[in-house]
Structure 1
Amino acid sequence: MISKTSLSSLLSTTAPLGELDARAREVFRQVVETYLETGEPVGSRTLSRGGIALSPASIRNTLQDLAHLGLLSAPHVSAGRMPTHQGLRLFVDGLLEIGDIGEAAKREIEARLTGRGMTFDHALKEASNLLSGLAGGAGVVMTPSFEAGVKHVEFVKLGVDQALAVLVFDDGRVENRLMTLEAGVTPSVLIEASNYLNARLRGRTLMEASRELRTELDSEREQLNVAAAHLIEAGLAAWSGGESDKRALIVRGQANLLEASALEDLERVRALFEDLEEKEELINLLDHVKVAQGVRIFIGSESKLFSLSGSAVIAAPYMRAGGQTQKVMGAIGVIGPARLNYARIIPLVDYTAKILGRLLD
Structure 2
Amino acid sequence: MLHKPRNPAGAHRPVLSELSERSREIFRLVVDAYVETGEPVGSRTLSRLLDSSLSPATIRNVMSDLEEMGLLFSPHTSAGRLPTDLGLRLFVDGLMEIGGLTEAERAAVDGQCNAVGRSMPEVLEQATTMLSGLGRCAGMVVAPKSERPLKHIEFVYLGPGRALVVLVTEGGMVENRLIDLPLGLPASSLLEATNYLNSRLVGRTIGMAQQEIFQELETARAELDDLSRKVVEAGLATWSNGNKEGALIVRGQAHLLDEVTEVGDLERLRSLFAALETKEQLLKLLESADHADGVQIFIGAENELFGLAGCSAVISPYRDSQRRLIGAIGVIGPSRLNYARIIPMVDYTAKVIGRILG
Provide TM-score, normalisation by structure 1.
0.74
1:338 equivalenced with 2:335 (yes/no): yes
Equivalent runs, 1:49-68 vs 2, <5 Å: 49-51=48-50, 54-68=54-68
Residue 130 of structure 2 is matched in structure 1 by: 130
Q: Confirm or deny: 8 A CA contact 1:15 1:89 kept in the other structure.
A: no
1:157 positional shift:
5.9
Equivalent runs, 1:119-158 vs 2, <5 Å: 121-143=121-143, 145-150=145-150
Residue 179 of structure 1 is matched in structure 2 by: 179
Equivalent runs, 1:261-340 vs 2, <5 Å: 261=259, 264-277=261-274, 278-280=276-278, 281-282=281-282, 284-285=284-285, 287-320=287-320, 322=321, 326-340=323-337
1:91 positional shift:
0.9
Residue 349 of structure 1 is matched in structure 2 by: 346
Q: Distance in 2 between matches of 1:342 and 1:90?
A: 13
Q: Confirm or deny: 8 A CA contact 1:139 1:251 kept in the other structure.
A: yes
> For structure 1, which segment, 248-257 or 330-339, has the greater mean C-alpha deviation from structure 2 after superposition?
248-257
Inter-CA distance 95–266: structure 2 relative to 1 (3 Å threshold): farther
Q: Confirm or deny: 8 A CA contact 1:249 1:283 kept in the other structure.
A: no
1:89 positional shift:
1.0
Quick one: which amino acid aligns to residue 66 of structure 1?
A: L
Q: Distance in 2 between matches of 1:115 and 1:164?
A: 20
SS in 2 for 1:88: helix
SS in 2 for 1:176: strand
Residue 3 of structure 2 is matched in structure 1 by: none
User: CA-to-partner distance for each residue in 1:135-163, whole Å, 9 max, x for gaps?
Assistant: 33222233475432345656566555334
Q: Confirm or deny: 8 A CA contact 1:131 1:334 kept in the other structure.
A: yes
SS in 1 for 2:133: helix
Q: Distance in 2 between matches of 1:163 and 1:123?
A: 24
Residue 94 of structure 2 is matched in structure 1 by: 94
Quick one: which amino acid aligns to residue 257 of structure 1?
A: L
Inter-CA distance 78–116: structure 2 relative to 1 (3 Å threshold): same
Q: Distance in 1 between matches of 2:151 and 2:116?
A: 28
Quick one: which amino acid aligns to residue 40 of structure 1?
A: E
Inter-CA distance 148–89: structure 2 relative to 1 (3 Å threshold): same
Inter-CA distance 118–222: structure 2 relative to 1 (3 Å threshold): closer
Quick one: which amino acid aligns to residue 348 of structure 1?
A: M
Q: Confirm or deny: 8 A CA contact 1:184 1:227 kept in the other structure.
A: no
SS in 1 for 2:140: strand
Provide TM-score, normalisation by structure 2.
0.74
Equivalent runs, 1:72-221 vs 2, <5 Å: 72-114=72-114, 121-143=121-143, 145-150=145-150, 161-181=161-181, 203-208=203-208, 212=211, 220=219
Q: Distance in 1 between matches of 2:111 and 2:350?
A: 14
Q: Distance in 2 between matches of 1:56 and 1:216?
A: 80
Residue 7 of structure 2 is matched in structure 1 by: none
Q: Distance in 1 between matches of 2:240 and 2:174?
A: 15
Quick one: which amino acid aligns to residue 126 of structure 1?
A: Q
SS in 1 for 2:316: strand
Quick one: which amino acid aligns to residue 279 of structure 1?
A: E
Quick one: which amino acid aligns to residue 277 of structure 2?
A: K
> For structure 1, which segment, 130-139 or 98-107, has the greater mean C-alpha deviation from structure 2 after superposition?
98-107
Structure 2 unmatched runs, 5+? 1-12
> For structure 1, which segment, 50-59 or 113-122, has the greater mean C-alpha deviation from structure 2 after superposition?
113-122
Quick one: which amino acid aligns to residue 43 of structure 1?
A: G
Quick one: which amino acid aligns to residue 353 of structure 1?
A: A
Q: Distance in 1 between matches of 2:353 and 2:41?
A: 39
SS in 1 for 2:134: helix
Task: Compute the RMSD of aligned alpha carbons.
Answer: 4.0
Quick one: which amino acid aligns to residue 349 of structure 1?
A: V
Inter-CA distance 222–202: structure 2 relative to 1 (3 Å threshold): closer
SS in 2 for 1:135: coil
SS in 2 for 1:136: coil
Inter-CA distance 158–94: structure 2 relative to 1 (3 Å threshold): same
Q: Confirm or deny: 8 A CA contact 1:15 1:94 kept in the other structure.
A: no
